[in-house]
Amino acid sequence: MTDFQTILDEIHHEIRPLLAQGAVADYIPRLASVPHEKFGMAVVTLDGQLYQTGAATEAFSVQSISKIYTLTLALQAIGDRLWQRVGREPSGNAFNSLVQLELENGLPRNPFINAGALVVADVVLAASAQPRTQLLTEIRRRADNHGLRDDPEVAISEKAHGFRNAALANFIRSFGNLDHPVEEVLDFYFYQCSLAMSCVDLARGFLFLANGGRCPWTGDTVLSADQAKRVNALMLTCGTYDAAGDFAYHVGMPAKSGVGGGIVGVIPNRLAVAVWSPALNAKGNSLAGSAALELFTTKTGMSIF
């Protein structure tokens, strides 16, 4: 039997020298104030066992990790019709790049780059009369934590400095791939990125993707087994920005990262694991968090390969 607690404690000790490296996401002022030395990690197994180390219960801004939940809502609403409006290929460019949109006529490469997430947000807006409430309710149910909430200061900070996202949204709208007003799409997007969760919340909240689309806490079928498999595939190929190939090589699991310093990964039929360290590498992924997940798959011998 794998001693997850000992492994997590070993990882916490071994990555300490990395906590001073990298840089926090200072282009979002609210995130710039988060101390470098923060680190948390949590594992939740399919039978509900929880293991944690460090600041695993401290909430932080999930940022792009929220794209998994909006993608889930969009797939619940329109299924495979979503792929007529957003692709499923790695981008090879920065997560907020405008370059490919012009070359590819406003069709974002995948739902995890910002352009793709804006299209997904547009789908969610069309499918729900109260999209913010629906999203928050969904996340609370998946994480089994009804106290989860957004951080309004983060949303305000993002809106005040969201010029590139505004450019992306207007560009997509110019190609007819957004149905709602740009401001409405942006406001929902900034809201989803401002949601605050801990490593424990995220590990619990992603466990449905390790369980064939079924939520262990509620018994709900969140996604079909086929859809869950597809989302995991997208996380593996597109979930860590344009470092996905390198992440798959070193870590070997489907994962989604955010510039708040969080990364969540799943080992299908086994567990979900979340890590948080706010300082990022050059690709926008948590520097110490990426190293911690590589240590995790090495020490446990668990990966999808």
Furthest-apart CA pair in the chain: how many Å? 55
**Residue 120: both structure tokens together:** 């997904």
pLDDT band at 232 (very low <50, low <70, confident <90, very high): very high
- Calculate the CA dihedral of residues 84, 86, 90, 94 and round it to 10 degrees: 160
Query: What pLDDT is attached to residue 63?
Result: 96
| Catalytic positions | 64, 67, 189, 241, 259
pLDDT at 7 over 80: yes
- Residue, of 204 and 32, whose pLDDT is higher: 204
Cα–Cα distance between 240 and 263 in angstroms, integer? 8
The string of pLDDT tens digits covering residues 152-185 is 999 998 898 889 999 999 999 999 999 999 999 9
Report the pLDDT value the prediction gives residue 137, as an integer from 0 to 100.
97
- pTM (2 decimals)? 0.96
The predicted structure's pLDDT at residue 262: 98
- The values of phi and psi at residue 286, to 5°, are -55, 125
Q: What is the pLDDT of residues 113-147, one digit of tens each?
A: 999 999 999 999 999 999 999 999 999 999 999 99
Residue pair 277/12 in contact by the 8 Å Cβ criterion: no
The pLDDT tens digits of the residues spanning 55-90 come to 999 999 999 999 999 999 999 999 999 999 999 999
Domain at 4-300, CATH class: alpha beta
pLDDT range class, residue 237, cuts 50, 70, 90 = very high
Average pLDDT, integer, range 172-201: 97
Please state the φ and ψ torsions of residue 126, each to the nearest 5 degrees. Answer: -70, -25
**Contact at 8 Å (CB) between 139 and 69?**
yes
Banded pLDDT at 290 (limits 50, 70, 90) = very high
- Identify the residue with better confidence: 25 or 150: 150
* Mean pLDDT to the nearest integer, 37-59: 97
Give dist(CA 125, CA 121) in Å, integer: 6
Mean pLDDT, the chain, rounded, equals 95
- State the SS3 of the chain: CCCHHHHHHHHHHHCHHHHHCCECCCCCHHHHCCCCCCCEEEEEECCCCEEEEECCCCCEECHHHHHHHHHHHHHHHHHHHHHHCCCCCCCCCCCCCCHHHHHCCCCCCCCCCHHHHHHHHHHHHHHCCCHHHHHHHHHHHHHCCCCCEECHHHHHHHHHCCHHHHHHHHHHHHCCCCCCCHHHHHHHHHHHHCEEECHHHHHHHCHHHHCCCECCCCCCECCCHHHHHHHHHHHHHHCCHHHHHHHHHHCCCCEEECCCCEEEEEECCCEEEEEECCCECCCCCEHHHHHHHHHHHHHHCCCCC
Taking the alpha carbons at both ends of the chain, their separation in whole angstroms is: 20
In the chain, % of residues over pLDDT 90: 87
pLDDT, tens only, 90-112: 986 666 677 778 888 889 999 99
The full set of domain ranges for the chain reads 4-300
pLDDT-based confidence at residue 49 (cuts at 50, 70, 90):
very high
Checking if the pLDDT of 188 tops 70, the result is yes
